[in-house]
Amino acid sequence: MATIEFSGPVLVSSSEERHGMWSVDGILTFVRPAKAPDRVLDGWVLPGFVDAHCHIGLGVGGAVGEQATFAQARADLDAGTLLIRDAGSPSDTRWVQQRTDLPRLIRAGRHIARSRRYIRGLGHEIEPGDLVETVRKEARDGDGWVKLVGDWIDRGHGDLAASFPAEIVKDAISAARDEGARVTAHCFAEDTIDHMLDADIDCIEHATGLLPRHIPRLVEQSVPIVPTLVNIATFPDIAAQAAPKFPDYADHMMRLWERRRERVLEAFEAGVSIYTGTDAGSVIRHGRIADEMKELHDAGLPPAAVLDAATWGAREWLGAEGISEGASADVVLCSEDPRLRLESVSRLQHIVLRGSLVR
């Protein structure tokens, strides 16, 4: 494996900058090796991006084959995403973890949804009495995460409604922790966030129903949010399609969309941890991590905070290596300081995965 010298500034954190780093046999070091480098790469060095809400092996209507899954993972890699937290997939993607030429993957197994209350073919659809055991199974099969569908449209009610009673969700979360796993939940509606916080959830996906009453609880309980703003941008289309049959649901989705950025900024300013996630898979194409970073910036987060959500902070949260002595050489290089020009993350100079130059 080639020895690589990184000649530019190395951003160890949002505030710590170092100079002089190498990749030797795929491992980062700040000690100059005796051997001359095979390659010298210039640019501002960051840990590889994290997509904390991504669906590898998922397509419209359910599972996709290995060729399509490979193409999804490769699109994410080409955008600089070197670590993916899967947020639910009907495909067995363990084979991706064996590939050294694809991003690192933390699997969450299949979505767990209420019967006839989710997109057909994507997840386990069950009744509340089966939730605890289903969560136990998914916790054993995954890599430390379980994904619940916290709410979805209830066609009888005509609007978003919680999938499972909060007390049963609490029992399921306890069961997951017994198995060494954390639980995250898809949450669009306001009341669903209350229910999930009551149940001691570990993470909230989307969080479009975030209200001022939720924010102190998120901070106190150390519950992060993954806003997936590139997905929330589809809400007007969803509302337009639903309006003829479900006008209350359509109006609700539009109200959630209208305050999406305001909610994220309020959470950030209060100290809620925020991480990047694209929700790629199905309707959102893969490789859009830079778009999600831009959305967070447009919501009012400063560049350093956006970078933390996509690199240093996200990796620490997931228990993954960043930039340190002895860490895997999973880094991206920008042509300019991304803390000053965030748009540089969309035109990366170089991508290095496990010490191999991707480009």
In terms of domains, do 253 and 338 share one? no
Q: What is the CATH number of the domain that holds 335?
A: 2.30.40.10
In terms of domains, do 105 and 10 share one? no
Express as a percent the part of the chain with pLDDT over 90: 97
pLDDT at 162: 97
pLDDT at 60: 87
Range of the domain at 206: 49-318
Tell me the pLDDT tens digit for each residue of 143-196: 999 999 999 999 999 999 999 999 999 999 999 999 999 999 999 999 999 999
Tell me the pLDDT tens digit for each residue of 237-294: 999 999 999 999 999 999 999 999 999 999 999 999 999 999 999 889 999 999 999 9
In terms of domains, do 160 and 41 share one? no
In terms of domains, do 56 and 31 share one? no
As a whole number, mean pLDDT of residues 68-78 equals: 98
As a whole number of angstroms, the distance between CA 45 and CA 287 comes to: 20
pLDDT at 109: 86
pLDDT at 61: 84
In terms of domains, do 239 and 155 share one? yes
In terms of domains, do 82 and 9 share one? no
Tell me the pLDDT tens digit for each residue of 306-329: 999 999 999 999 999 999 999 999
In terms of domains, do 77 and 223 share one? yes
10-15 own/partner pairs: CB under 8 Å, 24+ apart: 10/45, 10/323, 11/44, 11/45, 11/46, 11/307, 11/323, 11/338, 11/339, 12/322, 12/323, 12/324, 13/312, 13/322, 14/304, 14/305, 14/307, 14/308, 14/312, 14/339, 15/304
Angle subtended by helix axes 166-178 and 190-198, to nearest 10: 50
Token pair recorded at residue 164: 């499972």
Q: How many domains does the chain have?
A: 2
As a whole number, mean pLDDT of residues 98-102 equals: 97
In terms of domains, do 115 and 243 share one? yes
| Residue 58 CB neighbour total at 10 angstroms | 29
In terms of domains, do 22 and 80 share one? no
Q: What is the edge-to-edge ordering of all strands in the sheet holding 104-106?
A: 49-54, 81-86, 104-106
pTM over 0.85: yes
Q: What is the CATH number of the domain that holds 179?
A: 3.20.20.140
In terms of domains, do 55 and 184 share one? yes
pLDDT at 308: 98
pLDDT at 34 over 80: yes
In terms of domains, do 274 and 349 share one? no
Q: What angle do CA 77, 111, 279 make, to 5 degrees?
A: 35
Token pair 């997951």 in the structure block, residue: 176
Which among 359, 312, 356 has a CA at the least distance from the CA of 99?
356
In terms of domains, do 223 and 301 share one? yes
112 residue type, one letter: I
3's CB contacts (< 8 A; 6+ apart) are 22, 23, 24, 25, 33, 35, 36, 37, 38, 39
pLDDT at 1 over 80: no
